[in-house]
Amino acid sequence: MRKLIFDAHLDMSWNAIEWNRDLMLPVSEIRKFESQFENIVPGDPTVSWHALRRGRVGMTISTLLPRLHRKDGALTHYQSREAAYGCCMGQLAYYQAMVKRGVLREIPDAAALNEHVAAWEADESEDSSELPIGFILSMEGSPSILSPGQISEWYEAGLRILGPAHYGPGPYCMGTGSEGGLKKEGPALLREMDRVGMLLDVTHLADQSFWEALDVYQGPVLASHHNCRALVPGDRQLDDDQIKELIKRDAIIGAAFDNWMIKPGWIRFVSDPQTVCMADIVDHIDHICQLAGTTKHCGLGTDLDGGFGKEQCPYDLDTIADLQNMAGLLSERGYSDADIEGIMYRNWVDFFRRVWS
C-alpha cells in the first residue's frame, strides 16, 4: 500500500491566485493550458489537489504568501503592508472556499488532527478521492502582520504558524540574502506569538535573526523547508549548529525539493535538471539523522511550485505524486519501515500532537 505523506510547505493559494491555476485539475491539464503562454509562469507545475490525492499526500502545511512574482525584483514585494495584508486575506478566502467545497479540511488543533489522520490511515482506496486534504495554515514572511498586536487576529482566523522572514529585509527581522538581527518590533512579535500559541517557523531567517529569535521565542519551533549548509553552501541552508539547536528544541526539519538547495553548484536557469535526483535529497535527510542520532527530526517540506516548476526539480519527479518514490530511496539507504513512515508523515504528526497537547 502507498505511504501516507505529510508535506510541510506548499504555497497552494498563491499558485491558485497569483498564477491563475485551477488546482482541481490534473497537473497535465494545467500544463496544457499554460503552454499557450510564453514567459508568464515560472515553469511547468507539479502540484494540484488532484496530484496530491494521487500521491496520497493527505496532510500539508499550506501557506499565505504575501509576495508577487515579477521580473524586476523590486516589484516582487508589495509596496505597502496594507496591500500585503489584503493579499493574504484573499488567499485565506481561497482556502475557506476549498473547505466549503469539501476539497480541504482545516486542521487547527489536536482533535482535528487525530480525526483526520485516522481517516487517512484507514483509507484503502486507490486515489483517496473521497477524503479532504488536511492543511495547517502558515504564513511565509510577515509584511501582512501589520503590528505585533494583530497576531491574535490572525490566530483567530486560523493561522497556526508564522515564518517571519522570507527573502531580504522584512518588517520584523532579516531574511535570506540579507544580514542582521531582529528589528525593533521583532521581539514583541515573537512574544505575542508565544502568548497565543502560534508556532515559529525559522525557515528563511538570516543567521543573526535565527539566533536572536530563538533567544526570545520560548515556544515550539519548526523548519518547514530547509536543507543542509554542510552539503550545499549558502545562507538559505541550515548550518550544523543551527540543526543541533533545532534538535535540542525538538523541532522537525522538512527537506526541500528545490534543485539549487539540493546539490552544490547547481545554478538556476543554467544547470541541467537531469543532474539532480531525489536520491540527492536523501543525503540531506541522512546528514540531519547522523547529527541527531535518530530519524525523529526529519520530514518532507518540498516547496514544490514555490515560484519554480519542473525545470528546477529533481529529474525523477514529474508531479508531487512521485513523492511516493522517496520511501524506496530511503529503504535503499538502510532506513527501516518505521523510520521511513516517520520521515514520510508520522514525525510531523507526532510533532503537532505534542505541541498541541
74 pLDDT higher than 80: no
Task: With CA atoms as reference, report the closest residue to 260 among 273, 244, 243.
Answer: 273
β-strand partners of 165: none
Indicate if the pLDDT at residue 126 is higher than 80: no
Per the CB < 8 A criterion, the answer to whether 208 and 180 are in contact is yes
Strands (E), 65-109: 104-106
Phi, psi of 227 (to 5 degrees): -120, -170
Residue 5, classed as helix, strand or coil, is: strand
Predicted local distance difference test score (pLDDT) of residue 40: 79
Q: pLDDT averaged over the chain?
A: 96
Task: Find the helix or strand (DSSP H, E) in which 299 lies.
Answer: strand 298-300
How many CB atoms sit inside 10 A of residue 338's CB? 9
Work out the burial of residue 219: count CB atoms within 10 Å of its CB; fewer than 13 is exposed, 13-18 middle, 19 or more buried.
middle
> Band of the pLDDT at 264, cuts 50, 70, 90?
very high
User: By percentage, how much of the chain surpasses pLDDT 70?
Assistant: 99
User: What nine digits make up the cell of 306?
Assistant: 514555490
Q: How many Cα atoms are found within 13 Å in the side-chain-facing hemisphere of 71? A: 3
Residue 238, SS3 per DSSP: strand
pTM of the predicted model as reported, rounded to 2 decimal places? 0.97
Domain residue extents for the chain? 5-355
Spatial neighbors of 290 by CB under 8 A, at least 6 apart, are: none
Which pLDDT band holds residue 269 (cuts at 50, 70, 90)? confident
pLDDT at 236 over 90: yes
DSSP label at 335? -
Q: What is the pLDDT of residue 329?
A: 98
- The CATH T-level fold of domain 5-355 is TIM Barrel (3.20.20)
pLDDT-derived band at 12 (thresholds 50, 70, 90) equals: very high
Rounded CA-CA distance 289/16 in Å is 35
Distances (CA, A) of 343 to 57, 104, 177, 319: 13, 23, 29, 19
Query: Grid coordinates representing 64?
Result: 499565505
pLDDT tens per residue, range 152-211: 999 999 999 999 999 999 999 999 999 999 999 999 999 999 999 999 999 999 999 999
For residue 12, what is its C-alpha cell?
497552494
Report the alpha-carbon distance of residue 356 to residue 80 in Å, rounded: 34
Whether the per-residue pLDDT at 349 is higher than 90: the answer is: yes
Binned at pLDDT 50, 70 and 90, residue 75 comes out as confident
Residues facing residue 330 across a β-bridge: none
